[in-house]
Chain A
Amino acid sequence: MTAPLLAVLMAVQFDSVPKPRTVMAIGQVALINTFVNRVDAWVFKQDWARSGTRVWGEHLRLGWEWDEDAFTTNMFAHPYHGGLYFNAARANGIGFFQAVPYAIMGSWTWEYFGEKYRPSLNDWYMTSFGGITLGEVFHRITATIRDNRATGQGRTLRELAALPMDPIGSLNRLVRGQWRARGANPPEHDPGSYVLRIGAGARFAKGLIADSGAARMGAMLVDLLYGDPFTTEYRSPFDQFGVRLMLSSNGGFSSLRASGRIYGTNLNNPARTARHVLAVNTRYDFFKNRAQSVGGQSVEIGINSRWPIGSRGYAFRTSLFVDGILLGAIDASGTGLGTRTYDFGPGGGARWEFAVDRHGARFVRVFGQWEYIHAVSGASADHIVDFSGIEANIPIGRGFGIAAHSTVFHRISRYSTAPKDERNYPEARLLLTWTKAGFKP
């Protein structure tokens, strides 16, 4: 009885944690760069892709510079590209920390050898660090979408749904026949506790389109909490993370924020009613609309606390984090570099949150975030961004609810050669929400 059970357990273990394929992962990173470069050069006839040995020599001689690409290119497209490198490693059985050099070296080789333009330091930062955060988020989200036990059309639809977020993982699975093969799911498939909330409705934003009046537009919001800081004990990086995506009918893709735990520990006895846990997170921020553009890659450290209220699963939660911005970007119209309209620089800040939840799903949330960015490339400036708000979600049954959000985005930019720039952007959202949650205490 014991031997067959042990054999099954070993098979499951082998299937869910494949042996690392280092050479295959390195080859796929090189293939990504070669493929993207050649497609741009041969199919899209892009001048920047016409790189060669003479260009490589120039790049090695001249070294880094800052580029002038559009905000979305630098702050979203490059991190997404970095996620491809990272997930080339993850799809080949390489662990989180071991996959980090793949994102870093994939980006470095692309900057020096993949483009005609000089290597861009901001691209390297965004591709490497954004790629690590987004890459692991996509890796885990797609692991929950894919189901190795499913069959038929449903199975194919799951594999197709995962494709845009993790194309490299999907291609690896396709080549290995894993789109159809049945087997055990990887540990990332089941996050334990989770909350998925999708909302659609209206967004009212003063000053978003013009400097006066309130603009009204459609909005769609997706909140995902994978794992829970209290019920998911730290075992591996990103076993707990949160993502918020917002799409708007005016401006399209307007925000994406992701924060994942790379280290965590209990600060008090887990058996105690009130819990306090320390977390170190990597954070990705992308916030863009017609009024403001802010984003960056950060590392934050802080404490999450939870105090249960009564015996029906309600609790009061707090979070307090301080962060260092490895490289941030903020719009600074007319003061950027060349055609660029935003500054790059490092910084730091803090964020806090008070919330009331039931089984991990928040009903009321009050939060604030303060960030400082010192411009290194662009204007000679210091930027302070203050973002705060209150959000309430009232359940109306069967997972549906009505959500009302009110936020204020405030910024002060102090330029050495221009007057101080101070702006306020209040915003309100009214959404019909649907929440699906699983809570495993």
Chain B
Amino acid sequence: MLLTAPAWAQRRDRPHRSGLWAELGAGPGRVRIACSGCTDVVVASAPSSYFRIGGTVSDRVLIGVEVFSSLDRAFGFSRGDTTTTAETATATVVVLWFPSRRGFFFKGGVGLAAGQFTVPGTAGVDTSNGGGIGLTFGFGWDFAISRKFAITTNLAAHVTAVGDVVLPGQRIDDVIATMYQGSIGFSFR
């Protein structure tokens, strides 16, 4: 039965990824930084990138590890301030679920996060580092180009809770940065 099916039908029925797979992508991001007790949030744009690698649990479920990073060299904790360099990253265990045999998938994962905020000071630069919990969720679409390669679009949110940020003259308690990312990636399977 399968042998007589047209080629396009056979292609649609096979798993999107199988065995080991890897994906690398980048795209624009929007970061929203909130803190405990804050009545407002800081919003900025920043480029972001990710790399994920993993294996196949079934033809609809993939599991892997994802590393995501965002870098903003013109960030500020107040309006008009662009003096801070903000770097945030997450390393999470992610699950990709394809509800159907088409390329659409949901993604979710939890893991660790790190954040670094650097401002120029009177004697060099002042840096505040923090580590904490990372969380990601989103969805995307795998466009199969060949049997071993796909272009993948993603819309995802990355939540990073990195603790207190202490910089000269200011202390921001319990910072939680949420990055919204639209990206295009290359998937190898």
Contacts and interface: CB of A to CB of B under 8 A. Distances in A.
Contacts of B32: 63
A157 to B, nearest CB: 40
B110 interface: yes
Interface in B156-175: 159, 161-164, 173-174
A65 B39 CA distance: 11
Contacts of A346: 112, 132-133
A377 B165 CA distance: 11
Contacts of A125: 133
Contacts, number: 65
Nearest to B131: A374
A377 B41 CA distance: 18
Interface in B72-102: none
Query: At the interface, is chain B mostly helix, strand, loop or mixed?
Result: strand
B55 to A, nearest CB: 13
B36 interface: yes
A66 B163 CA distance: 10
A125 B32 CA distance: 20
Contact of B178 (A64, A97, A326, A376): A64
Contacts of A121: 133, 135, 159, 161, 176
A345 interface: yes
A377 B37 CA distance: 12
Contacts of B38: 62, 65
Given A61-B41, A66-B174, A377-B161, A327 B34 contact: no
Given A61-B41, A63-B176, A377 B36 contact: yes
A65 B6 CA distance: 53
26 contacts: A62-B34, A62-B38, A62-B40, A62-B41, A63-B41, A64-B161, A64-B178, A65-B34, A65-B35, A65-B38, A66-B161, A97-B61, A104-B108, A121-B159, A121-B161, A125-B133, A327-B133, A337-B173, A345-B133, A374-B131, A374-B132, A376-B130, A376-B132, A376-B133, A376-B163, A380-B164
Interface of A: 61-66, 97, 101, 104, 121, 125, 129, 326-327, 337, 345-346, 374-377, 380
Question: Which 3 residue pairs across A and B have the least CB separation, nearest first?
Answer: A376-B132, A376-B163, A64-B176
